[in-house]
């Protein structure tokens, strides 16, 4: 391939019979409809971090439940990417504060405010300017306090703000840098050196005009374009992702997520079930429409009955999309066992899961698994477990979740190491350094149980020397690194052969 820009280029080769920080692959990215919050991917490292930016749990907020169950099931970091219509509007207030020149002329508008994020949530915001009137004998611009409120409850309070652009407490600079709710707009220029004084009359205003926007076409296709916009923004996130379009089973949206993972080359999609089908035939009608020749995603059925932390008592149960909990299980499995261990099976239950919304017969489970659908199973004494580890690709060897995620892990880790070689002198010293560091990285992965083989030599190889770096490639500014890894496959079927033994002399040899 032609190389036009400096960088690291990673490719995959077909299976051969011969031969950053920690390169984790368990940072989730939840994409979905939210009533507030940023339209750009935002990194969240705790449940409280989510609520401070996107709000508390509500029965209509599937994304919040997904994030909650992600952290409850072992997840540590996630991105949240809010989806809204393109014409969503931010709430505004035209006059947060007035000033009055001491010459007696009419009051003039000084500051306006705009909600940071678009949506109807902004209409719940209010601002109170709590400063008093400054004496007319003063020649100093007044400072003032500003309170930001949600439904009348104070959430932010800013003290000793100044209307003077030259002051280090200039109101728009302070508020716009640190507020999680509003930006101030300066509508009037205040001259701090004028020959008259100003008095602050104060103001209490509510923001209005916030809108979630309108659909471009009739539902459910009206959300296709907003989700595609959100997926595009995730392309630039600098780490591998577990992508979950919360509650979305529509083919166009699922394909958008799968294409995002394939374009990135280091990510994986966890696909939520459609809540409608209750039989294997109904499920396969939905899933057969997905791209079946990709190993960048896995689908899970059915929805789960999970504890609802927004409720109390025996009725604190909610039918919940499982993607958030499954992403948390992926993360927990990676931290405890490496990505080579399938996120499934006994001993790794889905936390907070109380049961299944609907069940499948054993025959239906077999039909679904053959079609690449992973099911849940409620096991007495063991909880709800994942009963499957397959991607949407039906052919070996990369039909397994572990194979795809192990490749993602290796690709990301090796490319992070290779980045340090950019613009270094391209000779054997660089090749030896890269070989040593990549060998160390893969050796650690093998030692943790991530690669097959009795020894490192059986588990992987790294070639970066004069055999694949010639004078021609050196002249072209290219460093070639060949890496081969022997990946592990999960044990899906345990076959035990039992026969009747009649006894006899053979017993004496045991």
Q: Is the separation of the CB atoms in 298 and 257 below 8 Å?
A: no
Q: Is the separation of the CB atoms in 62 and 32 below 8 Å?
A: yes
For 8-61, what is each residue's pLDDT tens digit? 778 776 555 433 445 567 899 999 999 899 999 999 999 999 998 998 998 889
Would you say residue 71 lies in a domain?
yes
Shared domain check, 238 and 370: yes
Would you say residue 407 lies in a domain?
no
What is the rounded distance in angstroms from the CA atom of residue 298 to the CA atom of residue 42? 24
What is the rounded distance in angstroms from the CA atom of residue 289 to the CA atom of residue 305? 26
What is the rounded distance in angstroms from the CA atom of residue 116 to the CA atom of residue 91? 9
Would you say residue 472 lies in a domain?
no
Q: Which CATH number does the domain housing residue 63 bear?
A: 3.40.50.11780
What is the rounded distance in angstroms from the CA atom of residue 456 to the CA atom of residue 473? 29
Cα–Cα distances in angstroms (integers) from residue 396 to residues 197, 284, 399, 479, in the given order: 80, 20, 5, 31
Can you read off the two tokens belonging to residue 358?
Answer: 């609907």
Shared domain check, 123 and 256: no
Among 173, 206, 239, identify where a domain stops: 206
Classified as helix, coil or strand, 216 is coil
Shared domain check, 241 and 381: yes
Shared domain check, 285 and 188: no
Would you say residue 455 lies in a domain?
no
Exposed/middle/buried for 171, CB within 10 Å: 0-12, 13-18, 19+? buried
Q: State residue 4's pLDDT score.
A: 65
Tell how strand 203-206 and strand 241-245 pair up: unpaired
Residue 95 is classified by DSSP as: E
Shared domain check, 177 and 108: yes
If you compute the radius of gyration of the chain from its CA atoms, what whole number of angstroms results?
29
Task: Please report, in angstroms and rounded to a whole number, the separation of the first and last CA atoms in the chain.
Answer: 63
Shared domain check, 148 and 77: no
What is the rounded distance in angstroms from the CA atom of residue 443 to the CA atom of residue 139? 72
| Domain with 147 in it | 92-206
Would you say residue 279 lies in a domain?
yes
Shared domain check, 198 and 71: no
Can you read off the two tokens belonging to residue 20?
Answer: 């950053």
What is the rounded distance in angstroms from the CA atom of residue 390 to the CA atom of residue 377? 16
Shared domain check, 358 and 282: yes
What is the rounded distance in angstroms from the CA atom of residue 411 to the CA atom of residue 300? 26
Q: Which CATH number does the domain housing residue 112 bear?
A: 2.60.40.4290
- Of 197, 175, 166, 35, nearest to 96 by C-alpha is 175
Residue 64 makes CB contacts below 8 A (sequence gap 6+) with 34, 50, 51, 54, 55, 56, 57, 58
How many independent structural domains does the chain possess? 2
What is the rounded distance in angstroms from the CA atom of residue 447 to the CA atom of residue 456? 8
Can you read off the two tokens belonging to residue 197?
Answer: 């004084």
Would you say residue 485 lies in a domain?
no
Share of the chain residues as helix, strand and coil, in percent rounded to the nearest 5: 30, 25, 50
Residue 282 is classified by DSSP as: H
pLDDT, tens digit only, all 510 positions of the chain? 666 676 777 877 655 543 344 556 789 999 999 989 999 999 999 999 999 899 899 888 999 999 999 999 999 999 999 999 888 999 998 777 665 555 555 455 577 899 999 999 999 999 988 764 444 445 566 778 899 999 999 999 999 888 778 889 988 999 999 999 999 987 665 554 443 445 555 568 899 999 988 887 766 788 899 999 999 999 999 999 999 999 999 999 999 999 999 999 999 999 999 999 999 999 999 999 997 679 999 999 999 999 999 988 888 999 999 999 999 999 999 999 999 999 999 989 999 999 999 999 999 999 999 999 999 999 998 899 999 999 999 887 789 999 999 999 999 999 999 999 999 999 999 999 999 999 999 999 999 999 999 999 999 999 999 999 999 999 999 999 999 999 999 998 889 999 888 876 655 544
Q: Is the separation of the CB atoms in 290 and 392 below 8 Å?
A: yes
Tell how strand 317-320 and strand 153-161 pair up: unpaired
Q: Is the separation of the CB atoms in 76 and 95 below 8 Å?
A: no
Residue for token pair 């990301």: 412
Shared domain check, 198 and 340: no
Residue 143 makes CB contacts below 8 A (sequence gap 6+) with 131, 160, 161, 162, 169
Among 142, 172, 206, identify where a domain stops: 206
Among 401, 428, 455, identify where a domain stops: 401
Shared domain check, 356 and 222: yes
Q: State residue 101's pLDDT score.
A: 56
For 190-222, what is each residue's pLDDT tens digit? 554 443 445 555 568 899 999 988 887 766 788
Would you say residue 431 lies in a domain?
no
Shared domain check, 222 and 281: yes
Tell how strand 92-101 and strand 42-44 pair up: unpaired
Shared domain check, 359 and 265: yes
Q: Which residues pair with 33 in a beta bridge?
A: 83
Would you say residue 377 lies in a domain?
yes
């Amino acid at each position: 391939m032609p190389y036009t820009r400096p960088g690291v280029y990673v490719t995959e080769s077909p299976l051969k019979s011969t031969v950053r920080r920690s390169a984790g692959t368990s940072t989730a990215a939840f994409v979905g409809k939210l009533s507030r919050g940023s339209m750009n991917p935002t990194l969240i490292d705790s449940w409280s971090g989510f609520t401070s930016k996107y709000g508390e749990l509500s029965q209509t907020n599937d994304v919040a439940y997904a994030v909650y169950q992600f952290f409850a099931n072992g997840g540590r970091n996630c991105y949240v990417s809010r989806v809204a219509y393109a014409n969503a509007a931010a709430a505004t207030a035209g006059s947060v504060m007035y000033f009055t020149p001491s010459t007696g002329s009419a009051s003039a508008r000084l500051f306006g405010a705009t909600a940071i994020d678009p949506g109807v949530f902004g209409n719940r915001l209010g601002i109170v300017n709590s400063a008093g009137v400054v004496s007319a004998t003063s020649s100093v611009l007044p400072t003032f306090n500003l309170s930001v409120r949600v439904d009348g409850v104070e959430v932010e309070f800013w003290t000793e703000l100044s209307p003077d652009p030259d002051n280090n407490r200039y109101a728009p600079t302070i508020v716009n840098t640190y507020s999680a709710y509003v930006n101030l707009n300066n509508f009037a220029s205040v001259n701090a050196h004028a020959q008259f004084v100003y008095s602050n009359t104060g103001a209490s205003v509510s923001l209005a005009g916030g809108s979630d926007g309108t659909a471009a076409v009739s539902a459910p296709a009206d959300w296709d374009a907003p989700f595609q916009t959100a997926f595009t923004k995730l392309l630039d996130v600098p780490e591998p992702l577990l992508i979950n379009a919360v509650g979305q089973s529509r083919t166009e949206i699922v394909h958008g997520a799968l294409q995002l993972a394939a374009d990135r080359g280091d990510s994986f999609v966890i696909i939520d079930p459609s809540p409608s089908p209750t039989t294997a035939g109904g499920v396969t009608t939905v899933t057969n429409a997905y791209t079946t020749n990709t190993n960048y995603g896995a689908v899970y059925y059915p929805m789960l009955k999970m504890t609802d932390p927004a409720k109390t008592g025996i009725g604190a149960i909610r039918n919940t999309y499982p993607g958030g909990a499954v992403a948390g299980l992926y993360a927990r499995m990676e931290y405890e066992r490496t990505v080579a261990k399938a996120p499934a099976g006994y001993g790794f239950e889905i936390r907070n899961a109380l049961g299944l919304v609907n069940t499948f017969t054993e025959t239906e489970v077999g039909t679904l698994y053959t079609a690449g659908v992973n099911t849940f199973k409620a096991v007495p004494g063991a909880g709800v477990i994942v009963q499957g580890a397959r991607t949407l690709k039906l052919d070996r060897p990369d039909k397994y979740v572990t194979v795809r995620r192990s490749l993602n892990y290796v690709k990301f880790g090796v490319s992070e190491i290779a980045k340090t070689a950019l613009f270094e002198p391209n000779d054997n010293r660089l090749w030896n350094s890269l070989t040593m560091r990549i060998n160390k990285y893969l050796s650690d992965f093998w030692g943790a149980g991530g690669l097959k083989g009795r020894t490192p030599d059986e588990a992987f190889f790294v070639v970066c020397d004069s055999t694949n770096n010639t004078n021609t490639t050196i002249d072209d500014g290219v460093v070639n690194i060949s890496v081969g890894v022997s990946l592990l496959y999960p044990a899906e079927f345990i076959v035990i052969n039992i026969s009747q033994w009649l006894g006899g002399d053979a017993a004496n040899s045991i």
